Amino acid sequence: MRPIALVTGGNRGIGAGIVVALARRGFDVAIADLAETEDTARTRTQAGKHGARTAFVAADIADLAQHPRIVEAAWALGGRLDTLVNNAGVSSAKRGDLLEVTPESFDRVLGINLRGTFFLTQAVARRMLAEAPGQAHRSIVTISSANSVIASPERGDYCLSKAAVSMMTRIFALRLAQAGIMSYEVRPGVIRTDMTKVAAARYDKLIAEGLTPIARWGEPEDVGRAVAVLASGELPFVTGDAVHVDGGMHIARL
């Protein structure tokens, strides 16, 4: 029986990379995103090439009232859920001076990246605890960012949201470990997606100047592979920790 994963923001970019990597590892995958699009179809087709069944639920994780529907759609795929991947997120409405961040941008970013993610994790964890554990490894994997520890003042609200979900990973690890549910954080660095496209020229220059010891852009597939390893239970004595998928950017240098 294939394990079941729920991936939020799974239509494209890092989310799509995660969906396909999990499918390759033998998972069936429920995708939650704002709307079903051509990107969704491409991602589901790619996952299907690896034998995965997929399901889609249109939902906004910032709207807590939609969480029960997301959870039910995931459980309906296989009668259980083995892995939640918290990938849905947004960047700052506009990069710029920290002193110009608006309450509207702050509330939007924190509402999706932190509040929505926290309460969906809570809902899934409650359901996991209420169900008898199956044979598969159970886990919650949260996609944060290098900005959980590396400050970017031009998008302060985003950095705050990612630092907060880093702590969220640890507190859920403490709460759920005795039930055999592990909590992990994956910190992507500069990954080639629509979110980073707006700053592509800047990142090209920084990478050429030595921003990362591995001198290239990261790809969604790089993040997907890391998530699939964690979700597959290959690190059974690890919880509450972060995996950096950033080409070594996090390493302090003198």
R_g (Cα) of the chain, nearest Å: 17
Catalytic hit among 27, 56, 118, 158: 158
Distance CA 251, CA 74 (A): 37
Query: Angle 67-78/117-130 helices, nearest 10 degrees?
Result: 40
Cβ contacts of 100 within 8 Å, gap of 6 or more? none
Residue 154 main-chain phi, psi, to 5 deg: -75, -5
Distance CA 199, CA 42 (A): 25
Task: Say what the alpha-carbon torsion angle 10, 119, 96, 189 is, to the nearest 10 degrees.
Answer: -50
CB distance 39 to 245 below 8 Å = no
Distance CA 66, CA 204 (A): 39
User: Is 158 labeled as catalytic in the residue annotation?
Assistant: yes
Positions annotated as catalytic residues are: 158
